[in-house]
Amino acid sequence: MFNVYFFQPNTTMKKTVGQLQQNFKLSDLKVLFERLFPSPPNGKLEDYRFIVNGIDLNIQNESEFNKNKHLIINGSTLYPLQRCVGGSDVDMVTLKNIVRNELPSEVGKILKVMAQCAAHGETTLCVALCCYKYCAGCFIRSFEASKFKLECLGCKKAINYMEFFKSPDFIQTLDCLDQISTLPKHIDYQVCSCGSPMVNETMYAKQQCMQCKRIFCFFCNNEWLDGQMKNEKYTCRKDCSYEIMTTQDSVPLAANPSLQVPNKRVCPNCFKDGGYGNCCKYNQCPNCEHWFCYMCLKSQTECSKTSNYSTKCTDVVKQTYDTFPRLIKL
């Protein structure tokens, strides 16, 4: 037997633990889920999609489920998402607040040495993070500024939470925050204003939340307005988010006005949009700080192997709704 965790249906803030046999089947997962979350009010297993490590488990097809079943191991967390079968971001504020509130006490559990703090230069008790040492206050501020990522400022090595923090529960909270933070970049993922996460199986705009019965546009998350919105794939046609992100104008490249570049782009790394910086064709994403070319969308490092900051590398690559990743593969 091993432990698996479920975020409770229609919330991303509470978890429930259950147990599965090592050689479990899809039917065992169904029995466990419906025992932990009786219907009503939660609905049946078939009313949800399940995500683990960012991968769709596809419980509607047992052979497909078996291909990814190996991802469910001891300590795994499963995310039930409402299935939207009619024709924004997860609310991570609470999870981040949990981390912020627990962080000072967790840092207090880490072994400290007398050293010069890399941030303010004074000699005091410090925690060692790879090449550098920080006092507790400076580490906490740095960790929050890095969006709770452990990375050495010297060698840029990514550090596993388990190598640094001591409490298993705190480490699991950080791991869950990492996993949840990858979901909003998917075009078929949304969270209703009531807090219920869901996945869109048809990609039509007009959807209804199974939990609160609210009718809304799946893509911009606004209340549905009959007569003003259109039930189309990917957009409601009323200042809708993904339509705005994939609609661009051309402007002269400041470093070479004979070339035209889009006035804004969706970052190919984090899929947030940003505006042209009015300089060369290489721009840095304001969200994830990824540098990429506004013409070919390759990273600056890759593009600069055959081109430079002011010359044409290729025709401008168009961004469409297919630019965005999906939880459910077509």
Closest CA to 197 of 179, 216, 178, 210: 210
Percent of the chain with pLDDT over 70: 92
pTM for this entry: 0.66
| Residue 11 predicted with pLDDT over 90 | no
- Res 123: pLDDT: 96
CATH code for residues 2-83: 3.10.20.90
Helix axes 168-181, 93-108, angle to 10 degrees: 150
Higher pLDDT, 174 or 39: 174
- Domain(s) labelled CATH 3.10.20.90 in the chain stretch across 2-83
Q: Reduced to 3 states, what is the DSSP secondary structure of residue 169?
A: helix
Closest CA to 80 of 19, 20, 37, 21: 37
| Residue 90 predicted with pLDDT over 50 | no
Which of left, alpha, beta for 71 (phi over 0: left; psi -120 to 50: alpha)? Answer: alpha
CA distance 181 to 79: 12
